Structure 1
Amino acid sequence: MKTKKINLIKSMLLLFVISSVALSCNSDDDTTITSPDPEPISISKYVVGFQANPIGQATGVDYVLELPSLESLTTGEITVEGQGIPLKGWRFFHSVNNTVFSSGYGDDDKCIAYQLDEAGKLKEAANFTFQSTLDNYAAIDDKTLLAVELTGGVDDFTKNIPDRSFYIVNAETGLLEKVVTHAIDSRVGKGTEESPAYIPWVTGMVLRDGKLFVSYHKLLPDNSFAPVDVDKAYVAVFKYPEFELESLIEDERTSFIGINGHSTGIEKTENGDIYSFSSSSDAAAITGATKSSGILRIKNGATTFDPDYFFDVENAPNGGKLFWMDYVGNGKAIGRIVLDDSLGTWKIFAEQGSFFKMVVIDLINQTVTDVQGIPDHANRYTSPMFVENGKAYLSSRVGASLVSGGKIEDGETHIYIVDPETAMATKGAKVKGLTLKGIFKVSN
């Protein structure tokens, strides 16, 4: 009997162990294994600032338009018919990293920041207003847009000329962080014929090693935008972000740096050197200049113009007076040369006409090479040029000059893709509008 009890106990223990194992296995089989959330897929698109033909209107209509791929710039047509975001009035366009900014000019006092949402759709991310027209912009780093106001005149220019207001914008949020008001050039004169008063008008900004280099014109403060002391190049050097004015530098070998409506009067290259261009063109509103159109350099680590470097573009083979220049990389820039400087002040700012030829400028070897494959053209506004894989993408319009009776409907705008190494241009997509004011690539 005792043996039977022991065997019974053993059997019950064995049954318990088997049941426990079975339950354990069932429990394991029922366990749900949760995989980690997949990484979000980054979406990239190309965004353009689009100026439509002014059909039935006195001025063009600006849009911001997203394009799905680089191919959209190289083939087919670019149009805002049935798409795009219409904006208010004539506008500037600029970008910092993955944010595109559109700022009103005259008709609107709002700067709008656009970004791609999680689904890759272009949306307004933020906006801010400004007191006076913002006229010059610079992406001073990957997170900051710096913009400066334009004031064309004051009531009594025998008194002190107002300081400039710099708008510091967070490019990640699109929001205005602060406004810093500071004098650029306090040597504003006395408002007399012997000592004319003037307003410093910013044409370019570059940040390097905690120093902000600001190029500017001197304009009469009577809303005429007439230049004063035009035969010098001027740059103010600030300690940044403190905005403490450290020095004012000038050079008598050329004229004012930059022109109206461009943010590329001065640019920084890969090795830290800063180059500036001066137009000296009457047709580009640098009236009265007698010095050659040329390029100056501020070497890396220096805060003065390099006395051993002056590129006389006007008198170089294939050269002339510069209307615009933008840096591509590898020591080269793309430029537009004025073909006829006798047209009259501001005339080549018209949206259509054979005003310019395109050139590749070698800043190191000081050469100018005509770009083949692009006709004489017009393009009065050029945002910082879009560059991908070493190629420059920009729009140009051909057609009879609006200055001499040409009609908008007879002109045509295309994207041109310029290879700075070969100085060859390829015609890309047709633009069903006046121009693309900017081409940008953004990701979410």
Structure 2
Amino acid sequence: MKLSTLILNLSLAIFLVAGCNDSPVDNDKNKSGDHSETITKFIVTAKPTALENAADYLLTADSLTSGTVSTLNNGTEQDGTYRYYTTDQEQTKFFSFLYGNNGEVATYTLNNNGDLEKIASFQSDRVHAFAPVNKDILSMHIPGISQQNDPTARWYRINTETVQKVDEGEINTKELAGNGEWAFFSWIKQVDDKVFAPYYSISAAGQNVFSTQYPDSAWIAVFSYPEMELQKIIKDDRTSFIGRYYTDGLSVDESGDVYAFSYSVANDDEHQFISTKPTAVTRIKDGKLSFDQDYFFNIEEASGGYHMTNHIYASDGFAVLLMTKEQNGRYDEGKRLAVVNLYDKTFRWVSGFPEASNIFKIMERNYLVSEDGSTAHIGITLKKEGEKGEGSSFIYNIDVANASATRGLKVEGGRITAIHKLENSSN
């Protein structure tokens, strides 16, 4: 063999051996934990059906499309009967608000085992509206039926990194309304670098009704952030107010346009519905601080006389609507689902969802949309077959493109009240 050939073969052998030895070293490095692994869980909150006035339990699940979870000897029990939930924008922290004066705000994360772990808590006023804004959770305590003489709303800015209140301020709701009544915020939403706060006008503060003399107008207060200084009030008279009590009425699409959902539930002192406007959707185009007068989607007309009670924005202009044939009240939820395309104003009923007559209870809020925006998740409790009362609870997964529903995760022993996704990235 020639010397040059021998040298070439020897070099090749050394290269192959070195190459083979590199892989185990890299694999050992990966096994040592130098790569990042994300733990994902779904948080399903459920109120035990076997107990009266029971608090929610926080349950964790790996999937919303199949399987079973139970409240029996399982989950994290909450303190207080009525709880409301949100996550930060990164979905790494889960916040639990107590509906009550001076109630606890509890914060949870996922530990490295994928279990919920309480990391902080503090006391706060009763919270009527809250939402993630930048690195904060912005919450509002709004005067209404429990406060007869003080129209002062109080806002709190909770930093999601320190998990503590870092700022607070006041809003005079009577001055904001400017019509002799009080402004009551239905919800709050981050839009670009501002906060949009739709509100309705109430005249019966201190009584057990939210009556008004202005049932046929919609208002949005626009605040700077984080200063929460009022910049403008946007008004439209084509619908009644946006949202409902504890119910979000705004969604922002991928292009930054804001869609406003009016459920038309304004009432007088006798609890009679007095708005002459239909349940409908209006729009505020990206970067604008006024309603787009060229856009109006009459949901009542498109559905053949049904009323919209809530909505879930999915993606690409698709939204799931909760609908009812009867005039809906301030706390009622429609039990029939529809999918609309906000862009071309098409309307379709959802197939595969249980008949309204078979539903005992449907989730009021805290629905979840898949990361790709293709599926909306909603929890329901069915009636017992052949009996009165609560039966089994399931999460139904709504394919928005096909307007179809499939039954997914079963929740034993509890009525579903919220669905959230939570992640923990560990190194």
TM-score of the alignment, normalized to the shorter chain, above 0.5 = yes
Q: Classify 1:319/1:146 alpha carbon distance in 2 versus 1 (closer, same or farther; 3 Å).
A: farther
> What is the alpha-carbon distance in structure 2 between the residues aligned to residue 173 and residue 187 of structure 1?
32
TM-aligned CA deviation for residue 346 of structure 1: 5.0
Q: Classify 1:241/1:184 alpha carbon distance in 2 versus 1 (closer, same or farther; 3 Å).
A: farther
TM-aligned CA deviation for residue 49 of structure 1: 4.2
CA contact (8 A) 2:41 2:421 kept: yes
Q: Classify 1:307/1:184 alpha carbon distance in 2 versus 1 (closer, same or farther; 3 Å).
A: farther
Give the secondary structure class of the aligned counterpart of 2:94. strand
TM-aligned CA deviation for residue 154 of structure 1: 6.2
Counterpart residue number, 1:16: none
Q: Classify 1:384/1:165 alpha carbon distance in 2 versus 1 (closer, same or farther; 3 Å).
A: farther
> What is the alpha-carbon distance in structure 2 between the residues aligned to residue 198 and residue 373 of structure 1?
44
Identity %: 25
Count of paired positions: 383
Tell me whether 1:304 sits opposite 2:290 in the alignment.
Answer: yes
Counterpart residue number, 1:360: 339
Tell me whether 1:124 sits opposite 2:103 in the alignment.
Answer: no
> What is the alpha-carbon distance in structure 2 between the residues aligned to residue 424 and residue 318 of structure 1?
20
Which of 321-330 and 432-441 deviates more? 432-441
Q: Classify 1:108/1:156 alpha carbon distance in 2 versus 1 (closer, same or farther; 3 Å).
A: closer
Among 46, 52, 63, the residue aligned to 1:51? 46
TM-aligned CA deviation for residue 164 of structure 1: 1.7
CA contact (8 A) 1:185 1:248 kept: no
Counterpart residue number, 1:276: 260
Tell me whether 1:77 sits opposite 2:68 in the alignment.
Answer: yes
TM-aligned CA deviation for residue 413 of structure 1: 2.0
TM-aligned CA deviation for residue 314 of structure 1: 0.8
Among 222, 232, 252, the residue aligned to 1:247? 232
Among 146, 149, 173, the residue aligned to 2:162? 173
Among 124, 128, 133, the residue aligned to 1:140? 133
Residue type of the alignment partner of 2:167:
K
Give the secondary structure class of the aligned counterpart of 2:112. coil
TM-aligned CA deviation for residue 180 of structure 1: 2.2
TM-aligned CA deviation for residue 151 of structure 1: 2.3
> What is the alpha-carbon distance in structure 1 between the residues aligned to residue 370 and residue 73 of structure 2?
28
Counterpart residue number, 2:362: 379
> What is the alpha-carbon distance in structure 2 between the residues aligned to residue 328 and residue 35 of structure 1?
40
Which of these two proteins has the greater Rg computed from alpha carbons?
A: 1
Alignment of 1:2-401 (within 5 A): 38-39=33-34, 41-57=36-52, 59-67=53-61, 69-70=62-63, 73-88=64-79, 89-96=81-88, 97=90, 98-106=92-100, 109-131=103-125, 133-141=126-134, 143-153=135-145, 156-157=148-149, 161-184=150-173, 186-188=175-177, 197-219=180-202, 220-228=204-212, 229-262=214-247, 264-281=248-265, 287-317=273-303, 320-341=306-327, 345=329, 348=332, 355-375=334-354, 376=356, 377=359, 378-389=361-372, 390-399=374-383
Q: Give the TM-score, by structure 2 length.
A: 0.82
Give the secondary structure class of the aligned counterpart of 1:186. helix
Give the secondary structure class of the aligned counterpart of 1:172. coil
TM-aligned CA deviation for residue 443 of structure 1: 2.1
TM-aligned CA deviation for residue 144 of structure 1: 1.9
Tell me whether 1:413 sits opposite 2:393 in the alignment.
Answer: yes
> What is the alpha-carbon distance in structure 1 between the residues aligned to residue 352 and residue 176 of structure 2?
47
> What is the alpha-carbon distance in structure 2 between the residues aligned to residue 180 and residue 60 of structure 1?
34
Among 408, 416, 424, the residue aligned to 1:443? 424
> What is the alpha-carbon distance in structure 2 between the residues aligned to residue 90 and residue 137 of structure 1?
15
CA contact (8 A) 1:184 1:245 kept: no
> What is the alpha-carbon distance in structure 2 between the residues aligned to residue 181 and residue 418 of structure 1?
40
Structure 2: segments with no counterpart, 5+ residues: 1-27
